[in-house]
Amino acid sequence: MEILITATAVLTLLIIVILIGTRGRPMRFFTAFGEVLAAIARNRWPVFFLAISAGLALAFLYLFYIYPPIGPAQPIPFSHRVHAGVKNIDCRFCHPYVDQSTFPGLPTVEKCLFCHNHIIAGHPEIQKEHEYFNTDTPTPWRKVNYIPEHVMFNHQRHIKKDIQCQACHGRVEEKDRLAGRDFQMGFCLDCHRKKDANIGCWLACHN
């Protein structure tokens, strides 16, 4: 649907631009277009290489900035892949309130040091944790998941129904850096429909 609307909008805009550009005589566009084609045919190789390098540049930008989605750098390069994946630490050890409160909780500095006073204690990134500990500052983790403010979301109801963290957060245990997401209503509704959960949204999810 969105694609259709966008396509129509772009097409309309194109027609308007052509009409203005040719001062109301759109056929001129085609003669001009023909001339451009002829010019391209004359300079086939330079145009060819230009197109290839533009394509490569776009692919490069796409690969490095859009795919795969990488989240913002965190104050400490904490890796879910290492902790939840390789070392298989339970999500709830670090996000203990996920089934009791609206806020799942992020691990405190003390919790990191509970292990890291013994494991790789001399690692420079762990030294940073000690600085936070000594100055009594919570680690300034950057939040990556968002939901519009007027939506009431809580974890409990979902966790109690045995919905896996991964259903909403993806394969967290395979990622070094979480990209998070902006949750949209369609995503919530898809599953609510499938699982026969409440979709009377104004009562259930919005306030």
Q: Which positions lie near ligand HEC, rule CB under 6 A?
A: 74, 76-80, 82-84, 87, 89, 91, 93-95, 98, 103-104, 106-107, 111-112, 114-116, 119-120, 123, 125, 129, 141, 143-147, 151-153, 155, 157-159, 161, 163, 165, 167-169, 172-173, 178, 180, 183, 187-188, 191-192, 195, 197-198, 204-205
Q: Of 53 and 164, which CB lies nearer to ligand HEC in the complex structure?
A: 164
Return the closest-CA partner of residue 178 out of 80, 52, 76: 80
Alpha carbon 63 to its chain's center: 14
Q: What is the dihedral of CA 174, 180, 185, 187, to 10 degrees?
A: -10
Distance of closest approach, residue 1 Cβ to ligand HEC, in angstroms = 20
Contact between 170 and 70 under an 8 Å Cβ cutoff? The reply is no
Contact between 105 and 98 under an 8 Å Cβ cutoff? The reply is yes
Placement of tokens 């400490």 in the chain: 76
Distance of closest approach, residue 64 Cβ to ligand HEC, in angstroms = 20
Q: Of 53 and 100, which CB lies nearer to ligand HEC in the complex structure?
A: 100
Q: Of 35 and 131, which CB lies nearer to ligand HEC in the complex structure?
A: 131
Distance of closest approach, residue 104 Cβ to ligand HEC, in angstroms = 4
Q: Of 36 and 86, which CB lies nearer to ligand HEC in the complex structure?
A: 86
Distance of closest approach, residue 69 Cβ to ligand HEC, in angstroms = 13
128-163 exposure pattern, b = at least 16 Cβ within 10 A, e = fewer? bbeebbeeeeebeeeeeeeeeeeeeeebeebbeeee
Q: Of 35 and 125, which CB lies nearer to ligand HEC in the complex structure?
A: 125
Distance of closest approach, residue 99 Cβ to ligand HEC, in angstroms = 7
Q: Of 70 and 163, which CB lies nearer to ligand HEC in the complex structure?
A: 163
Query: Amino acid letter at 121?
Result: A
Return the closest-CA partner of residue 187 out of 207, 163, 162, 161: 163
Half-sphere exposure of 137 (CA within 13 A, CB side): 10
Distance of closest approach, residue 100 Cβ to ligand HEC, in angstroms = 11
Contact between 142 and 72 under an 8 Å Cβ cutoff? The reply is yes
